[in-house]
């Protein structure tokens, strides 16, 4: 039997993180060895509770949840209620009690380090689907982890410039003034996870030994992966029984809420992009989800700019391009892997497979 890939999942559990947890918890090739939580889609208190509830719903109360950082390195916390609701899991009619153990007494960064180093060298992956504060602290505090792990997979960033064929919705309109394209989702320039803590992101992408082990899943890719009405219907009705299971109902409700948010706030009526599970899919062995192996890039994050304006200041001016992802192509095989294209049938087939496995173990 092929050895499973050990995975530690660092999340800010909102709606799309649920599908990352689904895949990490139930894909036959993966071994979910732990989870940590961070600020982002909701407060740390809520992302932690959400993670425990979802693990419970997935029948994985054997996996512990370690609360991590509540705010960025050197900026105030940013929480958005538009896309994920006030708790981070909007639109769900039924959730179980949070029975997956929440280890508030433990240091999440130390637990990440210990769990990853306990795996054979170059086998374990860290997957980060929220702001990168926890991950940056891990590698800064315990640099030995860099050489030990197999890789780091991140959902974050937006490149633009026709990096893929995906089209993003409207944001705050600052680029519309010069009729340029938009490619961020928090601002016209910046993706949310990177925008929340650009200094943390910069510390990771400036590390040459870590960069070559890193896969970056940007909005340019995730906006190719839309949960259309057809996809949502198949997810809801794809079980073996005539009546949808409570797990499938929960997952479909998540996507319906997400779809409404993307339509209202971004003008995307085809369906919401499903960002976070792609960061888990990126490390699946022998997978055909990604149609290329990812060109290598130097990645730089813009950290100049403020998140808030003082009285009398123009927010657009003081914010500038903070959180923007700037990439430069490399031809030497080094640098960060950034995939360009997807096999959507393979991706949704994998989600369906994991959902069927979860149905057998879930407790929603």
- The answer for residues whose C-beta is within 8 angstroms of residue 234's C-beta and 6 or more apart is 348, 352
DSSP H or E segment with residue 252? helix 246-266
Name the phi and psi angles at 337, rounded to 5: -80, 125
What is the Cα–Cα distance from 291 to 54, expressed in whole angstroms? 30
What is the Cα–Cα distance from 301 to 323, expressed in whole angstroms? 6
Look at residues 86, 181, 130, 151 and name the one whose alpha carbon lies nearest to residue 284. Answer: 151
What is the Cα–Cα distance from 111 to 104, expressed in whole angstroms? 11
Beta bridge partners of 327: 299
Query: Is residue 275 flagged as an active site residue?
Result: yes
CA dihedral 117, 59, 53, 233 (to 10 degrees): 120
> Strand ranges (DSSP E) for 19-172?
30-37, 65-67, 125-128, 151-155
Altogether, the residues listed in the chain come to a count of 364
Tokens 């989600």 found at: 351
26, 207, 275, 340: the catalytic one is: 275
DSSP-derived secondary structure for 213-250: TEEEE-HHHHTT-B--HHHHHHHHH-SSSSSPPHHHHH
What is the Cα–Cα distance from 139 to 212, expressed in whole angstroms? 14
Helix, strand, coil fractions of the chain, as percent rounded to 5: 35, 15, 50
**R_g (Cα) of the chain, nearest Å:** 19
- Residues designated catalytic: 275
């Amino acid at each position: 039997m092929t050895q499973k890939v050990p995975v530690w999942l660092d999340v800010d559990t909102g709606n799309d993180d649920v599908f990352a947890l689904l895949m990490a918890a139930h894909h036959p090739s993966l071994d979910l060895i732990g989870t940590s939580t961070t600020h982002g889609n909701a407060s740390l208190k809520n992302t932690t509770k959400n993670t425990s509830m979802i693990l419970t719903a997935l029948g994985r109360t054997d996996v512990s949840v370690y609360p991590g950082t509540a705010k960025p390195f050197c900026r105030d916390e940013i929480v958005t209620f538009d896309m994920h609701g006030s708790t981070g899991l909007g639109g769900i009619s039924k959730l179980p009690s949070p029975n997956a153990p929440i280890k508030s007494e433990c240091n999440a960064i130390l637990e990440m380090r210990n769990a990853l180093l306990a795996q054979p060298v170059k086998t374990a992956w860290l997957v980060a689907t929220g702001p990168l504060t926890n991950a940056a602290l891990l590698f800064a505090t315990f640099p030995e982890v860099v050489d030990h792990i197999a890789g780091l997979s991140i959902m974050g960033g937006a490149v633009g410039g026709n990096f893929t064929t995906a089209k993003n919705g409207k944001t705050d309109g600052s680029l519309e003034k010069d009729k340029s394209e938009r490619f961020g989702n928090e601002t016209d320039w910046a993706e949310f996870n990177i925008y929340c803590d650009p200094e943390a992101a910069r510390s990771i992408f400036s590390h040459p030994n870590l960069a070559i082990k890193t896969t970056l899943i940007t909005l340019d890719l995730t906006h190719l992966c839309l949960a259309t009405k057809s996809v949502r219907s198949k997810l809801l009705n794809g079980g073996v029984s005539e009546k949808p299971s409570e797990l499938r109902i929960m997952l479909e409700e998540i996507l319906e809420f997400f779809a409404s948010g993307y339509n209202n706030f971004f003008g995307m009526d085809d369906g919401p992009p499903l960002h976070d599970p792609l960061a888990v899919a990126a490390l699946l062995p022998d997978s055909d989800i990604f149609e290329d192996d990812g060109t290598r890039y130097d990645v730089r994050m813009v950290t100049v700019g403020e998140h808030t304006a003082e009285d009398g200041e123009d927010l657009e001016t003081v914010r500038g391009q903070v959180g923007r992802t700037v990439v430069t192509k490399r031809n030497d095989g080094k640098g960060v892997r950034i995939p360009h294209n997807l096999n959507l049938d393979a991706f949704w087939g994998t989600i369906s497979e994991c959902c069927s496995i979860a149905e057998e173990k879930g407790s929603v």
